[in-house]
């Protein structure tokens, strides 16, 4: 289905929880989130019902996200239910990777096609400081488990943060030499805890090209401009929501774990879906697509959404 700007909307980012086992400094406050009542969050059945309605409205790809999706109990059951929806072409998941040692295999068996793993630093001390609760070791074990479970085309998402990880650009890019991975760099978007951070922490993704002159452009994919080192097995991606926004080509809608449809990551507008079923649910999804905001306004001000990123899912 097309929105009022003529964009085809076929990609749903579905958040299964706002909870997380990490507290990344730019994403969540140190104290975490107020624990909600279990009933405030969509049940597995409600998530599957919304996903099926979205597919009837033209969605072909679903990406599960969080918070951290892997902390959600019953996630493999949900994946199995989603995989059985006729017309769904791709089921993907974005994760911090820490729980993949236990869950990579069950998720693969449940039909998840592809994983994107967030990884902001390769230094154990920095990792612990940025995530406040995590260890790099867990994520490295998670990556091994994902490969052993048969996940291919892994992508890694690194949020570029000036003064934190910009001296690791080369290390990340070099991983693409020996591994068939896409190493992606994402511009930090001003929202939630990082909205007021010093301007020099927000770097344009071009910084990567300035540091790595060897990178050669290859075909873009989704929202990522892509590059490759000569002879490398993997690729490098740049995602520039701030400096080169990709709103004109946006194909996404989002549903939050508390059941609100968001036409745009950065907009305040939300459509409540809870309690709707059948045609009424489908009509609400269509309304959300039709009224999808045209673009964000991050070059003029911080994000308009009052939510932190863990309450949306990226």
Ligand X SMILES: Nc1nc2c(ncn2[C@@H]2O[C@H](COP(=O)(O)OP(=O)(O)OP(=O)(O)O)[C@@H](O)[C@H]2O)c(=O)[nH]1
Of residues 162, 247, 291, 304, which one binds ligand SF4 by CB under 6 A? Answer: 247
Of ligand X, ligand SAM, ligand SF4, none, which one does residue 92 interact with (CB within 5 to 8 Å by kind)? ligand X
Question: Is residue 188 a contact point for ligand SAM (CB under 6 A)?
Answer: yes
- By beta-carbon proximity to ligand X, the closer residue of 253 and 276 is 253
Query: Angle 270-241-119 (CA atoms, 0-180°, nearest 5)?
Result: 100
Question: Is residue 138 a contact point for ligand SAM (CB under 6 A)?
Answer: no
Cβ atoms of 87 and 60 closer than 8 Å? yes
Residue 127's SS3 state is helix
Phi, psi of 302 (to 5 degrees): -70, 170
Question: Is residue 314 a contact point for ligand X (CB under 6 A)?
Answer: yes
Question: Is residue 68 a contact point for ligand SAM (CB under 6 A)?
Answer: yes
Residues 241-300, interacting with ligand X (CB under 6 A): 241, 250, 252, 265
- Minimum CB–partner distance for residue 6 and ligand SAM (Å): 27
Task: Tell me: is residue 225 an annotated ligand-binding position.
Answer: no
Rounded distance between C-alpha atoms, residue 281 and residue 50, angstroms: 7
Question: Is residue 26 a contact point for ligand SAM (CB under 6 A)?
Answer: yes
Question: Is residue 161 a contact point for ligand SAM (CB under 6 A)?
Answer: no
Phi, psi of 45 (to 5 degrees): -65, -40
- By beta-carbon proximity to ligand X, the closer residue of 105 and 295 is 295
b/e 159-193 (16+ beta carbons within 10 angstroms → b): bbbeebbeebbeebbbbbeebebbbbbbbbbbbbb
- In the DSSP assignment, the letter for residue 157 is E
Of ligand SF4, ligand X, ligand SAM, none, which one does residue 95 interact with (CB within 5 to 8 Å by kind)? ligand SAM
Residues 111-130, interacting with ligand SF4 (CB under 6 A): 118
Q: Which two tokens stand for residue 277?
A: 């079923």
Task: Tell me: is residue 27 an annotated ligand-binding position.
Answer: yes
Q: What are the residues whose beta carbons fall under 8 Å from the beta carbon of 158, sequence distance 6 or more?
A: 118, 119, 120, 121, 165, 172, 183, 184, 185, 186
- Interaction pattern, residues 10-49, with ligand SF4; x per rule: CB under 6 A: ----------x-xxx--xx---------------------
- Interaction pattern, residues 79-108, with ligand SAM; x per rule: CB under 6 A: ---------------xxx------------
Number of H helices, E strands in the chain: 8, 12
Q: For ligand SF4, which stretch binds (CB under 6 A), given 52-60, 64-72, 148-156, 213-221?
A: 64-72
Number of residues lying near ligand X (CB under 6 A): 15
Q: Which two tokens stand for residue 266?
A: 């950065």
Cβ atoms of 308 and 296 closer than 8 Å? no
Residue 135's SS3 state is coil
Helix 75-83, helix 44-56: angle, nearest 10: 20
Q: What are the residues whose beta carbons fall under 8 Å from the beta carbon of 53, sequence distance 6 or more?
A: 281, 282, 285
Of residues 15, 17, 25, 94, which one binds ligand X by CB under 6 A? Answer: 94
Please state the residue numbers annotated as binding site: 13, 20, 24, 26-27, 63, 67, 94, 118, 155, 189, 247, 250, 252-254, 264
Binding residues for [4Fe-4S] cluster: 20, 24, 27, 247, 250, 264
> Which parts of this chain interact with ligand SF4 (CB under 6 A)?
20, 22-24, 27-28, 66-68, 96, 118, 245-247, 250, 252, 264-266, 295-296, 309-310
């Amino acid at each position: 289905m097309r929105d009022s700007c003529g964009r085809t909307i076929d990609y749903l980012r579905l958040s299964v929880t706002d909870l997380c086992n990490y507290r990344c400094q730019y994403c969540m406050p140190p104290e975490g989130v107020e624990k909600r009542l279990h009933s405030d969050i969509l049940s597995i059945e409600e998530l599957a019902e919304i996903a099926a309605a979205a597919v009837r409205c033209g969605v072909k790809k679903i990406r599960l996200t969080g918070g951290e999706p892997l902390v959600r109990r019953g996630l493999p059951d949900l994946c199995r239910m989603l995989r059985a929806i006729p017309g769904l072409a791709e089921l993907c998941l974005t994760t911090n990777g820490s729980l993949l040692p236990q869950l990579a295999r069950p998720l693969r068996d449940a039909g998840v096609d592809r994983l994107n793993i967030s990884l902001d630093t390769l230094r154990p001390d920095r990792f612990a400081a940025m995530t406040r609760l995590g260890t790099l070791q867990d994520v490295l074990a998670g990556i091994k488990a994902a490969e052993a479970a048969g996940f291919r085309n892994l992508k890694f998402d690194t949020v570029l943060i000036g003064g934190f990880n910009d001296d690791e650009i080369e290390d990340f890019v070099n991983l693409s030499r020996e591994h068939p991975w896409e190493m992606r760099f994402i511009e930090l978007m001003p929202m939630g805890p990082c909205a007021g951070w010093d301007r020099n922490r927000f770097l344009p993704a071009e910084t990567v090209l300035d540091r790595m002159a060897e990178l050669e452009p290859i075909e873009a994919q989704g929202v990522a401009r892509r590059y490759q080192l000569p002879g490398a097995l993997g690729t490098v991606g740049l995602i520039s929501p701030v400096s080169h926004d990709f709103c004109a080509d946006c194909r996404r809608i989002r549903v939050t774990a508390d059941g609100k449809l968001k036409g745009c990551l950065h907009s305040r507008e939300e459509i409540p879906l809870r309690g709707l079923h059948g045609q009424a649910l489908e009509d609400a999804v269509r309304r959300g697509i039709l009224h999808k905001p045209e673009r964000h306004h991050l070059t003029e001000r911080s994000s308009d959404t009052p939510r932190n990123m863990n309450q949306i899912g990226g």
